[in-house]
């Protein structure tokens, strides 16, 4: 029985990983809603453009697209609302009005204002202009960016994961009211919660203060982890690979450890005791830069770079089947890319956990430094 269970598990894992790789392949083969729309991804330049397009946030949620027999481009997915703040106030419309155009050729007119989408950014055209003109570096000359509050693909990802976590954990919490041991999926979550509390929060923050911060650490851990994992599904979210998202998370940590820092922590930073007076201002500059800039910056860049790099590697390995088609043959190139992307996807599953763990761990460490009692020194 046990052996059977184990082999079933193994088969399931393999099937899941294969499914993920194959789906990616289908997407990268067909979904190319970029400026060279209509063509297939074949050359290195097209692959590069496709990958860079995937890494960026997008205004519509496209699952895949294909060219029909009549040579027409079909997109499967759903449009998302565009909400922008312009000189004339709030303007909203659906992103489908751009017809998947991404190089500013489709102009949408709303409230007497004209909008175009260029490289996943919404531009407002000047009053007299009727179409976007570009200079030689491909910057729009007669249009400017607007404040964009759109529900983009990443926002959908954040909302989806947020509600999912809310649902899972409120159910877990509710179960403790009636029974000692949770049932169902909550049984998977309980040891993870305990792990974050006992292995991350307690040793780094200390027995005395850890309770106050466990909530934040748990939220950050599960938020990053589930978002990282959702990035490995064929939905193609790249939420934790957006600088805005990781920057926001880093600012949360910065605010929390700055606000909860004790008097001793700040005194040690601004006016270090036990050091010659002349050196104190120099130390203060270094310490302040470290605490207020370098710590959050390293948190921000680490998560962003790891997840983006992971996505780029997975998609590049899948692209082998197109770029090496001539030299290895269709079967050879497909087989090579399947094997490589299969194993790199498994590594990415590990990285997804590791990055969530490291972000939480370092947040706990920084908080622990801020709240520890300095009285016992010197």
Partner 1 sequence: MYNLIGAGLIVIGAGIGLGQIGGKAMEGIARQPEATGKIQTAMIIIAALLEGLAFGALFLGK
Site string for partner 1, 333-362 (x = CB under 8 A): ---------------------x--xx--xx
CB of 375 to partner 1, least distance (A): 26
CB of 204 to partner 1, least distance (A): 9
Nearest C-alpha neighbor of 244 from the set 158, 165, 316, 319:
158
For 13, 36, 239, 323, the CA distances from 317, given in Å and listed in that order, are: 20, 21, 21, 10
> Rule CB under 8 A: is residue 17 a binding residue for partner 1?
no
> Rule CB under 8 A: is residue 297 a binding residue for partner 1?
yes
CB of 362 to partner 1, least distance (A): 6
Site stretch for partner 1 (CB under 8 A), options 21-29, 76-84, 157-165, 296-304: 296-304
Q: Is there a contact between 157 and 58 (Cβ–Cβ < 8 Å)?
A: no
> Rule CB under 8 A: is residue 305 a binding residue for partner 1?
yes
CA distance 61 to 95: 10
Q: How far is CA 112 from the centre of its chain?
A: 35
Total number of residues that touch partner 1 (CB under 8 A): 15
Closer residue to partner 1, CB minimum distance, 229 or 365: 365
Q: Is there a contact between 296 and 253 (Cβ–Cβ < 8 Å)?
A: yes
Nearest C-alpha neighbor of 221 from the set 82, 342, 363, 45:
363
Closer residue to partner 1, CB minimum distance, 277 or 350: 350
Site stretch for partner 1 (CB under 8 A), options 14-22, 154-162, 208-216, 295-303: 295-303
> Rule CB under 8 A: is residue 301 a binding residue for partner 1?
yes
**Helix, coil or strand: residue 311:** helix
CA distance 159 to 81: 14
Buried b (16+ CB within 10 A) or exposed e, 246-283: bbebbebbbebbeeebeebbbebbeebeeeeeeeeeeb
> Rule CB under 8 A: is residue 55 a binding residue for partner 1?
no
Q: Is there a contact between 335 and 324 (Cβ–Cβ < 8 Å)?
A: no
Q: Residue 331, Cβ neighbours under 10 Å: how many?
A: 9
> Rule CB under 8 A: is residue 369 a binding residue for partner 1?
no
Closer residue to partner 1, CB minimum distance, 140 or 250: 250
Residue from 31, 95, 306, 337 in contact with partner 1 (CB under 8 A): 306
CB of 216 to partner 1, least distance (A): 19
> Rule CB under 8 A: is residue 149 a binding residue for partner 1?
no
Residue from 133, 170, 233, 298 in contact with partner 1 (CB under 8 A): 298
Closer residue to partner 1, CB minimum distance, 123 or 304: 304
Q: Is there a contact between 279 and 324 (Cβ–Cβ < 8 Å)?
A: no
Residues lying near partner 1 in the complex (CB under 8 A) are found at 199, 203, 297-299, 301-302, 305-306, 354, 357-358, 361-362, 365
């Amino acid at each position: 029985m046990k052996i059977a269970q184990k082999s079933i598990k193994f088969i399931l894992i393999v099937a899941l990983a294969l499914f993920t790789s194959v789906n990616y392949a289908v997407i990268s083969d067909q979904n190319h809603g970029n400026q060279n729309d209509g063509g297939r991804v074949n050359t290195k330049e097209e692959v590069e453009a496709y990958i860079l397009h995937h890494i960026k946030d997008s205004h519509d949620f496209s699952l895949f697209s294909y060219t029909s027999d009549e040579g027409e481009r079909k997109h499967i997915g759903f449009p998302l609302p565009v909400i922008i703040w312009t000189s004339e106030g709030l303007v909203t419309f659906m992103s489908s009005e751009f017809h998947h155009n991404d190089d500013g050729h489709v102009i949408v007119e709303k409230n007497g204002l004209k909008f175009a989408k260029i490289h996943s950014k919404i531009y407002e055209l000047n009053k007299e202009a009727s179409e976007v003109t570009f200079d030689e570096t491909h910057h729009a000359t007669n249009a400017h960016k607007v404040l964009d509050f759109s529900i983009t693909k990443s926002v959908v990802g954040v909302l989806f994961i947020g509600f999912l976590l809310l649902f899972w954990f409120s159910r877990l919490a509710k179960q403790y009211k009636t029974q000692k041991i949770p049932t169902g999926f909550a049984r998977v979550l309980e040891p993870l919660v305990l792990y974050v509390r006992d292995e991350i929060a307690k040793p780094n923050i200390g027995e005395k203060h850890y309770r106050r911060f466990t909530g934040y650490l748990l939220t950050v851990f599960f938020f990053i982890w589930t978002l990282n994992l959702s990035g490995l599904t064929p939905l193609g979210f790249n939420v934790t690979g957006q600088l805005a998202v990781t920057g926001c998370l880093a600012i949360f940590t910065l605010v929390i450890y700055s606000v909860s820092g004790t008097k001793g922590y700040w005194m040690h930073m601004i006016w270090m005791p036990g050091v010659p007076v002349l050196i104190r201002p120099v130390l203060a500059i270094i310490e302040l830069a470290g605490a207020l800039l370098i710590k959050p910056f390293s948190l921000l860049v680490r998560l962003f770079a790891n997840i983006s790099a992971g996505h780029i590697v997975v998609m590049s390995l899948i692209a082998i089947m197109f770029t090496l088609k001539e030299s290895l043959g269709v079967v050879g190139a497909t087989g090579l890319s399947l094997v490589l992307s299969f194993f790199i996807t498994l590594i990415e599953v590990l990285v997804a956990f590791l990055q969530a763990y490291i972000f939480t761990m370092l947040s706990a460490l920084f908080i622990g430094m801020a709240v520890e009692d300095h009285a016992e020194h010197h």
